Amino acid sequence: MGVGFLGEYYLWVKAAHVIFVIFWMAGLFILPRYLVHHQDGLGDPVEEDRWKLREGRLRRIILTPAMIAVWVIGLALAINIGLLVTIQGLAWLHAKLFVVYLLTGYQAVMVGYAKKLAVGKAPWPGRRLRMMNEVPALAVIIIVILAVVKPF
């Protein structure tokens, strides 16, 4: 495996990358909204059960599989364009990897928060939780500019 190993399939693999990116982002945009509703519904056992179920499904069906697919396919593209052999011309990719790494951490934090809500705890005030809603949008703006414009 090395530079150019995807050969003529490169663009197909890139298309698959963008498709899974969309699935992953859809999940990342909705998860913090679920958490806001879940937190607002604390104290009402029926509501609490509903949100626990929805959050569990979102994680199992969308978030975890899409996140893994984006990482695996993205790294294949990155290796194809030389991630393992050079840093020449790939500063944008390293910056992008760093932001995606942070976004993956964000998912872990929010899933952790869902687990706290599931046992009736609400560690953050609603305002802070709502501010956390903006993180994926900010990350997408930075990542897409890095991937498409490649400013450095």
CB of 78 vs ligand HEM, minimal distance in Å: 4
Give the residue with the Cβ less far from ligand HEM, 67 or 117.
Answer: 67
Alpha-carbon span 119 to 88, nearest angstrom: 49
9 token code pair: 């399939």
Angle at 142 between CA 73 and CA 8, to 5 degrees: 30
**Cβ partners under 8 Å of residue 92, min gap 6:** 146, 147, 150, 151, 152
| 145 contributes a contact to ligand HEM by CB under 6 A | no
Give the residue with the Cβ less far from ligand HEM, 14 or 52.
Answer: 14
Of all residues in the chain, what percent are helix, strand and coil, respectively (each to 5)? Answer: 80, 0, 20
Applying the rule CB under 6 A, the residues between 29 and 88 that interact with ligand HEM are 70-71, 74-75, 77-78, 81
Give the residue with the Cβ less far from ligand HEM, 36 or 79.
Answer: 79
Binding site for ligand HEM (CB under 6 A): 14, 17-18, 21, 25, 70-71, 74-75, 77-78, 81, 93, 97, 100, 140, 143-144, 147-148
